[in-house]
Structure 1
């Protein structure tokens, strides 16, 4: 393996033609420069410099060695600057995954604006409701909703979401409005991936098993079913707030409404030191 010891000192002397000026340039002592160059010559078994009391010049071997060393030092400097830039300027590929509907409505629009501000970043975004393994699949960042499972991933809270239990006015007119959790057993519940709904009952978190005429893993499909008067649905705010605001849906069981759930950015340990990951997370926190 090549030994870099003394190379920077030799190049500095060769270019300045002075041990003293080379020492000033490298911010070291003249004795240090002289010792490093002497050790380098001994290691190479060849004299690199002619030394007189008035000047320093390159020998033939020194000229050849300098011609090879100068590009190497330039490359090393470029490599160090490239790594330094990675710590300050967001650049390169960033792989992210997010839930489908929330990703379409809230995450990808922010990603697009983030890319406008940081043209050196490339983002590959996969929208899926499956919880992908970030480490095995080499993802930098995942957006997760609700309660988190224990893992070795680092979590940063981006915001929160509220679950709403609601139904259309026509359904409530035909079947009545439930006022207690036990009354849900007499209603058609439009069920998603989980077969239970979350409520807050007298300050305690309560999971209630529900059943109905429709089970579907799509929030959009469940929303449409509720709008079609098929039953009661429990969905996050970003699905139903507009429909509640314009009267197409009515929120029910408001006294049992569960506490807000988190919206999270998850990433493997060490990724927070990457500017592209850190700055995207900060951007999401600001706008969510």
Structure 2
């Protein structure tokens, strides 16, 4: 800040009553204090202090200037103390978002535990399958699935997930199984939020565009439709792992299954991520390292 050092020196001279006492308080020489005051008076075009060998006295301009700036050094100290406290322990509002089902099932319980350990955090947790604008809508953190496409944000990998193409046993008995990706257009495909399914072919990532007479942005609704034999769907492991293990759902085109896609912690770019953000991200990542349903 322009003139800040000189203003601080001026305030200390007035409050301490002498140049030498102000110099001792600020840890500089008395001659340095004198130079700062002289420069400040030159900049302002006014005499602030009348100096004698025994004492100092404020001029009219000096009195006015002192009244306006006397509290600024202590205010700066208070501001620095607040930031120091903030850096030591997470405190205050934190706004985050996640896809609905994943958020309800996996993120909300972890964040509730986090709040127990950090009672000064004020959490606003918004569950939606819509890709929110982090900057425009004021979010500190978003949890997103799949490939990262927005390079304007920073991200950390939370965990992996595997997408399974599957159908009910009744559907397979009635309609048969697809054996190639090209055969998908002969089957009843059920869509979620995306118009494409993710596969791997000849070691390369491949997205296959799918058309459907049934679609929903709800994972549980999609899973129910698959279970009832309405068609084929691609769903992540945390939806269908139990059904695949029990045999209620049948895996399809496993030779084309993509190894895994990511779940990401996404946040706006900043010079220094806040302690709240760092603490939340670290806590979530540590939890998912130990979670049995997710690969790392």
CA contact 1:41–1:48 (8 Å) conserved in 2: no
Superposed displacement of residue 221, structure 1: 0.9
Distance 2:34 2:212 in 1: 87
Q: Does 1:28 align with 2:24?
A: no
- In the TM superposition, 1:229-268 aligns within 5 A as 229-268=229-268
Q: Which residue of 1 aligns with 2:117?
A: 117
Q: 1:209 to 1:39 in 2, by over 3 A?
A: closer
Shift of 1:68: 6.9
1:154 aligns with 2:154: yes
TM-score (norm 1): 0.80
Once the two structures are superposed, what CA deviation does each residue of 1:29-65 show, in whole Å capped at 9, x if it has no partner? 121123335666786535466643xxx5777989998
Instruction: Let me know the Cα RMSD of the aligned residues.
Output: 3.4
Partner SS state of residue 239, structure 1: helix
Query: Distance in 2 between the 1:202 and 1:6 partners?
Result: 70
Unaligned runs of 5+ in 1: none
**Counterpart in the other structure of 1:226:** 226
| Matched position secondary structure for 1:142 | strand
What TM-score, normalized by structure 2, do the two folds share? 0.78
| Counterpart mapping for 1:105-254 below 5 A | 105-210=105-210, 214-254=214-254
Q: What runs of 5+ residues in structure 2 fail to find an aligned partner?
A: 289-296
1:72 — aligned with what? 72
Q: Distance in 1 between matches of 2:51 and 2:64?
A: 12
Whether the 8 Å CA contact 1:188–1:230 is kept in 2: the answer is: yes
Secondary structure (helix, strand or coil) at the match of 1:119 reads: coil
8 Å Cα contact 1:140/1:271 also seen in 2: no
Match of 2:47 in 1: 45
Partner SS state of residue 273, structure 1: coil
Check whether the contact 2:188–2:230 (CA below 8 A) recurs between aligned residues: yes
* Equivalent residue, structure 1, for 2:291: none
C-alpha change, 1:6 and 1:233, in structure 2 (3 Å) is: closer
Q: Measure the CA separation in 2 of the matches of 1:72 and 1:272.
A: 26
Displacement after TM superposition at 1:235 (Å) = 0.3
- The range that moved more, 135-144 or 65-74, is 65-74
Distance in 1 between the 2:117 and 2:15 partners?
42
